[in-house]
Every structure is written in C-alpha cells, then in structure tokens.
Amino acid sequence: MATENALKNRSNSSCELCTASSNLSVYPVPPTSDLSAQQSIYLCQTCLAQIEGEQALDINHWRCLTDSMWNQEPAVQVMSYRLLHKLSSESWAQDALDMIYLEDDVRTWAEQGIAAERSNGPTRDSNGAELQDGDNVTLIKDLKVKGANFTAKQGTMVRGITLTDNPEHIEGKVNGTRIVLVSAYLKKA
C-alpha cells in the first residue's frame, strides 16, 4: 500500500507511460524488483495488458513513449527503453532509441530485462553460428523487401545487426533502410 501511495503521488494518479487516469496498478519492473516505488511504475490496464503479453502491442498506443522516455524516474526510463526496443522496427521508435539517454546503471537495468526476454534461445545464422548484437552478416539469397520497393541482393553485407525478441529475426540496414531479416537467410561474416 505504501508503494502504491508513493506511485500515486509521483505520477499525479496517472499512468507513467501513457498518462491514462483510470484502472491504475503497481507494476514491479523485472527482472528483479524489491517492490519499492523506485523499482516499480504505475500503469493503466491497457499498458499492463500489452506489456504482459495478454494483448498484442498496439503500435499507435506506444507513441506515448517519445514523452515518457524523458521521465526523471529510472523505472519509467527502463520500461520506455525496453518497449522502444521491442518496437524498433518502427522508424519513430528507432529514432527515439537513437535519442534516449540513460545513466550507465539504468541502461544496465534496462538491458538485463531485454536479455531475460531473449532467453528463449540464441539467434543463429544459416550455418548454425550464433549471432550477437553488432555482428556483420551477408545475405545468402535475394530478398524482396516489402514496402521499400527494392530487392536486397545475395552477397549484400549488413553491418552492425540488432537482435530482436524473436530468435528467427534480426534487424539491420540495407540500402539505408532499417529492415527485419530472417536469420535463416544470413551468414555470419
């Protein structure tokens, strides 16, 4: 009860991500939380259901993250960063990730949660080599890029990839466009 009262005061009785003012509850920020106000945030049911996977992520709902990422509370910054990371295939979310500033300890906390979510297995290329964030890969076949009106040609180098929540997909830039690629069509460079 003390944590909830502290969060109500801190948030002015509104969701700390989207500013909704009804159906609010305490959310302890994983992977470890001592249930204190410093390691929890106040969320509406819409945000909570999407974060916990009960509902699919509504991309338009999460545009609020471009405001909440500037919140002074580390727990709010951590959740904003993690959600922006999940939505990083959207250009606006990638732009926000490029702008966000986190203190080193806050970034570590945010990255721990992302790593915990990825624990469903490593991302592997077509030869079974494990891929990591920042690796360079080569396309092993021509791939039509939906919505971008170009074909990524076999042999194209994709530098500095980013892993996603799905171990079968990575993100990278091809022809200046950030796209999601299937790891089975890649070879570690």
Give yes or no for a contact between 30 and 116, defined as CB atoms under 8 angstroms apart. yes
Q: Which residues pair with 145 in a beta bridge?
A: 150
For residue 147, with 0-12 CB atoms within 10 Å meaning exposed, 13-18 middle and 19 or more buried, which class applies? Answer: exposed
Given pLDDT bands bounded at 50, 70 and 90, which one contains residue 52? confident
Please list, in sequence order, all residues whose beta carbon lies within 8 angstroms of the beta carbon of residue 85, skipping any fewer than 6 positions away.
Answer: 97, 114
Distance between CA atoms of 86 and 74, rounded to whole angstroms? 18
Average pLDDT rounded to a whole number, residues 159-188: 87
Residues 49, 54, 60, 63: is their CA dihedral positive or negative?
positive
Chain centroid offset of residue 6 CA: 27
Structure tokens at 35: 């249930």
pLDDT at 19 over 70: yes
Domains (range + CATH), the chain = 2-119 (no CATH), 123-188 (2.30.30.40)
Place of tokens 């990839």: 161
Given pLDDT bands bounded at 50, 70 and 90, which one contains residue 9? very high
Distance between CA atoms of 41 and 8, rounded to whole angstroms? 10
What pLDDT sits at residue 67? 95
Average pLDDT rounded to a whole number, residues 8-15: 94
